[in-house]
């Protein structure tokens, strides 16, 4: 091994460790602890701990020593094949370095501190449905993101800088074009489906579902989908998320509520995130290549396991008897086809994470548009609840009863994760591009689901997508998996076939 490359790799391993403790592609260890285990009184000091860690990690990574090694390794890099692991590690490390070196360490620390305080403020504000309680933290996060944008060369749109943090290389204009097509086709489709809506199905998935039984069934479905023994855990939290400090330390969360089975689908969703991190080539552990390549690709995996697997009729033909056994008084008289229709009911609703697969994208488009309005100075932050409520009525025809069910429902703005939301809908789109390829390669996939077998799907995804980690750009990765760029066509076709007029019975 080239000596300079070995020294660079050793240094990058330390940088990776610091990021895994704090925050990297997905939430790190201290974030997981803050959202699951830490007593609320620890927030103030945890914010300072994360700020210190952010500053130390940034200083270490963007140091003159890292810069020197990246420069000295160029001759070796030029001798390597573009797709080799060594060339990819150097290339990705240099891209990360060039971006990180533009942001002062103090600003990084301020953003980390504000994120911790913002999440705590959001938790309190949501509990009391009081936007004014959250407003100062939101103002601080927006101010810091403006300063962050100023660290970079002018982009076509300011929002490009924020989007690039989560979907490297993607431009706001590209997302807007995709979303305009989604809105154009999904709004009339949702209206068409609404004419056939059966409100009685609501009582199937909403009712008296004890949390202890939910917890057991959520653990059971994660065990069924599969992972390497001794490497995962599932915990409760306010807002579900996944964390992966390492390939063999995967921590997913869900939220339990007595009145519905949303925890089950949230668990499937977070499993998709976790299995992506779990499937990265172990050779990339503690390197810049470790972890998912983008949040759009990441979300494609969570939406795939939640919707394309977890809401499919073949899956429920296998798993429904287990669910009935867990909730006999609630489901004994409900047949599997009725439960399947209830789990796939299309009905505009208030809460994004509980939204059905046909209306979900409109929740995302609303947030995407609001974030652009914020950074282009078209809205005042104090006006957000009013604007939010008006657009929810316009896009989905629902009336927001309070801020907890409206502008305060998501944790992202509290944590300063602005530019993130669009990746959810991009993930929906990508999931169907990948799914079409899966079905063409594994022709008996649905029969396997009916037998409770998921290994072939996991192996296909690991081989085609997961193992690559961050080795290639998001666009290159998608090209390798599906043979082309992002395309909304398969997703819209899937919705029409599953929920459109042809699916009416």
| CA atoms within 13 Å, Cβ hemisphere of 81 | 3
Active site (annotated) includes residue 270? yes
Q: Are residues 17 and 246 in contact, defined by beta-carbon separation less than 8 angstroms?
A: no
Distance in angstroms (rounded) separating the CA atoms of residues 166 and 378: 23
The percent helix, strand, coil of the chain (3-state, each to 5) is 65, 5, 30
> Among residues 123, 126, 130, 160, which one has the least CA distance to residue 145?
160
**Secondary structure letter of residue 497 according to DSSP:** H
Q: Are residues 2 and 73 in contact, defined by beta-carbon separation less than 8 angstroms?
A: yes
Distance in angstroms (rounded) separating the CA atoms of residues 446 and 299: 22
Torsion angle of C-alpha atoms 433, 438, 441, 443, degrees rounded to 10: -120
Distance in angstroms (rounded) separating the CA atoms of residues 279 and 291: 9
Q: At a CB cut-off of 8 Å and minimum separation 6, what does 455 contact? A: 226
Outline where DSSP puts E strands in 145-238. 232-236
Active-site residue (options: 77, 167, 270, 299): 270
Length of the chain: 505
Query: For residue 286, which phi and psi values (nearest 5 degrees)?
Result: 60, 35
Distance in angstroms (rounded) separating the CA atoms of residues 396 and 391: 8
C-alpha gyration radius of the chain: 22
Is beta strand 242-246 parallel, antiparallel or unpaired with respect to 249-254?
Answer: antiparallel
Distance in angstroms (rounded) separating the CA atoms of residues 157 and 434: 30
Distance in angstroms (rounded) separating the CA atoms of residues 317 and 52: 51
Distance in angstroms (rounded) separating the CA atoms of residues 63 and 70: 11
Query: For residue 82, which phi and psi values (nearest 5 degrees)?
Result: -55, -40
Distance in angstroms (rounded) separating the CA atoms of residues 356 and 114: 33
Q: At a CB cut-off of 8 Å and minimum separation 6, what does 404 contact? A: 126, 127, 128, 129
Outline where DSSP puts E strands in 116-269. 232-236, 242-246, 249-254
Q: Exposed, middle or buried: residue 161 (CB in 10 Å: 0-12, 13-18, 19+)?
A: buried
Is beta strand 232-236 parallel, antiparallel or unpaired with respect to 242-246?
Answer: unpaired
Q: Are residues 129 and 402 in contact, defined by beta-carbon separation less than 8 angstroms?
A: yes
> Which residues are the active-site residues?
270
């Amino acid at each position: 091994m080239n000596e300079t490359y070995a020294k660079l790799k050793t240094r990058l391993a330390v940088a990776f460790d610091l990021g895994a403790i704090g925050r990297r592609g997905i939430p790190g260890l201290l974030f997981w602890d803050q959202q699951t285990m830490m007593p609320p009184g620890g927030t103030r000091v945890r914010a300072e701990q994360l700020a210190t860690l952010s500053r130390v990690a940034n200083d270490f990574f963007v140091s003159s020593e890292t810069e020197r090694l990246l420069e000295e390794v160029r001759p070796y890099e030029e001798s390597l094949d573009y797709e080799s692991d060594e060339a990819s590690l150097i290339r990705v490390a240099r891209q990360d370095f060039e971006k990180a070196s533009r942001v002062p360490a103090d600003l990084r620390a301020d953003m980390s501190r504000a994120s911790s305080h913002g999440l705590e403020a959001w938790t309190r504000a949501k509990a009391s449905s009081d936007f004014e309680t959250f407003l100062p933290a939101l103002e601080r996060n927006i101010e810091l993101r403006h300063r962050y944008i100023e660290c970079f060369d002018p982009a076509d749109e300011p929002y490009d800088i924020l989007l690039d943090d989560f979907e490297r290389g993607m431009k706001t204009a590209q997302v807007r074009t995709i979303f305009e097509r989604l809105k154009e086709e999904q709004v009339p489709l949702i209206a068409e489906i609404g004419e056939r809506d059966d409100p009685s199905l609501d009582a199937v998935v909403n009712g008296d579902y004890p949390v202890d039984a939910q917890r057991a069934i959520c653990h059971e479905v994660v065990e069924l989908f599969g992972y390497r023994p001794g490497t995962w855990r599932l915990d409760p939290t306010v807002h579900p998320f996944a964390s992966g400090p390492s390939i063999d330390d995967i921590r997913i969360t869900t939220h339990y509520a007595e009145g519905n089975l949303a925890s089950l689908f949230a668990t499937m969703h977070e499993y998709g995130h976790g299995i992506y991190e779990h499937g990265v080539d172990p050779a990339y552990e503690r390197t810049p290549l470790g972890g998912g390549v983008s949040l759009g690709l990441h979300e494609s995996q969570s939406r795939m396991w939640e919707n394309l697997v977890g809401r499919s009729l073949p899956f429920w033909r296998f798993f429904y008897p287990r669910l009935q056994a867990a909730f006999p008084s609630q489901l004994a008289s409900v047949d599997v086809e009725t439960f399947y229709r209830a789990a796939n009911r299309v009905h505009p609703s208030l809460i994004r994470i509980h939204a059905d697969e046909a209306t979900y994208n409109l929740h995302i488009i609303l947030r995407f548009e609001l974030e652009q309005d914020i950074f282009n100075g078209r809205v005042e932050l104090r006006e957000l609840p009013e604007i939010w409520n008006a657009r929810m009525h316009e896009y989905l025809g629902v009336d927001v009863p309070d801020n907890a069910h409206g502008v305060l429902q998501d944790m992202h703005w509290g944590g300063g994760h602005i530019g993130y939301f669009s990746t959810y809908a991009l993930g929906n789109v990508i999931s169907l591009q990948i799914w079409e390829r899966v079905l063409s390669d594994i022709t008996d996939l649905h029969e396997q689901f009916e037998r409770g077998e998921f290994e072939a799907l996991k192996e296909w995804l690991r081989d085609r997508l997961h193992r690559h980690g961050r080795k290639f750009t998001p666009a290159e990765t998608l090209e390798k998996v599906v043979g082309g760029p992002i395309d909304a066509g398969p997703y819209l076709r899937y919705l029409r076939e599953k929920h459109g007029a042809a699916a009416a019975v």
